[in-house]
Structure 1
């Protein structure tokens, strides 16, 4: 590598991101704070095939619409607003057992036109649920590398490191076509923002319109973006809602062509059949009485074994006491009364 890569790990909370960070960095970790906030900043280093790379574990977030302080930290880094943290590659950690929910955030990252690698975790849990994922088809649909990993068992880590390095070297380019038609959300406003900041993608321009007050922009740029919003009647709430609907519509298509899941209708049909028998207006009562009869009989039948053992043990113990104790009222009370 010509330079040391800086790699950011992002993902939904509980997606396995921290486990991956620990797996990649081992003991080479540092914990600090992001400037101006009390959110932990976890960094470390890892060895890639051709050199060392720096890893930063960004706080978990569900989407690029932050609400909590830690989500704002991740958001600012991903939108290029943190001058001290500028990742060359973003690894989006996604839970394979809840892929649909995780893909929302992943596709938002892809539309930022930043180098992205998707690391699929919890594939074993997905398999237990009967979920099968066609990784090659998922890669084709998303346009970015997808690697299956298990950080706890060190599975897929060499392949992930290779994908991170190749993406950082530019061998994998961000998709030219947006995941959704972002320009249709606010075409005129997006074009005008991009005249101010030509390096922005259409989707990044939308976020400049929504959150420019929180960005590190000079007063002239801030004023111009505010003017663009007013002249074009830009509605951030409506834009966000339309974007989410578009994304889930496209994600639905991806799930259909690259993921196979157990048919919930079959499970419900089996449940209905059992319910129809057990809750039948006539047979249901007979089944209930039969179950109660079996339970009643089993209690006495099963209890007879320990009762016989207890009686036998008590009789043996009583006989033994009679043989060793002298004749008296106290021994009679102990042997024939207490025992």
Structure 2
């Protein structure tokens, strides 16, 4: 498989040579870059096969495993977001799926086929963060060259309108802003009507209007059956777009699920609730140690079921204003109100903060810079 943007990297002249170089690279690049063969049972006629299957993937550099037995599945007709801090292994994983790198071991199936299968070239689109675009070519002229490589491309004018390329249609790529390059790179990934699209930071560098236009287009294509695998550092982008989220760290999947599943629980395999913050008002100087003791007893009873011990912290921020942090469940709220009632304390303004995908991500991967 060869990505739509990578195939044009070596072209610099907006003429017949550009198209010849593109076509030559289309034929050769995937074979030169990947000797990896998937062992997953493959069936090119199976339209029900997942868009992407990654099973026990391993990739090491200089003896260090950057991908260490990583596994996940991206469903058809859905947007799957693969998230992780810098160095987590997500980019290497996706590059193996795109046949840009060779995995050491493991199994990959792209639309039911090995990643380097030549029949995937017109079925898969790839958008790289740096665009992979020839810098000396005018934007829309290059898009027309790429469109000519496909039997039934999306009309160029349609993509120009949907992605707002008109204002820089005759501008060379080297003069485009980062956001403009991203929109052009997305157009080249979509021009061939792919069944599966890999997106790397699709809205990086875009203004809010452009971001929402891109999100709307991606969502519309998903609703029409196109599958997407998305990598991004923008948690709001993943939260807005993704049907399924995979969080990767240290070369492994550490959590996965839908956004509601992850934000209402930790998403981890032990079934434990994720951290939330409770705020309430009440009489000053309430004995918080007693409340924490009751919550700890609840946690101890859950250890047998989850294998993990939940911890809580609580403090009085100002006289009568309280905050507690821990894995909130309805039972914790019940204990809070019962504890207050037993002391004749009337609580008010009880609030549980709404967890975001970014909250979950930071809890699972930590806040330390990498």
TM-score if structure 2 supplies the norm length? 0.25
- As a proportion of its length, which structure holds more strand? 2
Q: RCO greater where, 1 or 2, for CA within 8 Å and sep 6 or more?
A: 2
TM-score if structure 1 supplies the norm length? 0.26
- As a proportion of its length, which structure holds more helix? 1
